[in-house]
Amino acid sequence: MKKKLYNFYLENTKRVNNWDLVDLSADRIIGAYLMERNKKILFKLAKSKNLWERRMAIISTFHFIKNGFYNTTFDISDSLLNDKHDLIHKAVGWMLREIGNRDVVAEENYLNKRYKNMPRTMLRYAIEKFPENKRQSYLKGKI
């Protein structure tokens, strides 16, 4: 059943037209299906011209994050660092923050190498729950 739902979802991505649909479904359908499988489809989605497919790529990794696996999220985040769309910046920042909610050291290790090149919205979302002094250090480029 999971495979049928996964295939149906991917066959109909052109019909997805808002962030809410992606945020409520991608991790539960794509992420759950791919948990123990090859994740190359996520990298294909991350390179799509379709905004919603790019968002699906990063939001799908929420399932992995909830299960303690962060590398795919970091890799997809890297591929989306230069994305021009604010909804992608927000999604990547959100997923990085979710990693930090579970493992702040992993999040900081990722951020420390990239934060100066991240879109401001992405960084703000990622560090939203940091202590104020640490947030300010990131925002001022003084880490």
34 within 8 A of 41, measured Cβ to Cβ:
yes
The pLDDT, as a whole number, for residue 125 is 98
Low-confidence ranges of the chain (pLDDT < 50): none
Q: What are phi and psi of 88, to 5 degrees?
A: -80, -45
Into which CATH architecture does domain 2-139 fall?
Answer: Alpha Horseshoe (1.25)
CA–CA separation, 42 and 59 (whole Å): 10
Give the global pTM.
Answer: 0.96
Question: Using alpha carbons only, what angle is made at residue 121 by residues 24 and 86, rounded to the nearest 5 degrees?
Answer: 60
The pLDDT, as a whole number, for residue 1 is 82
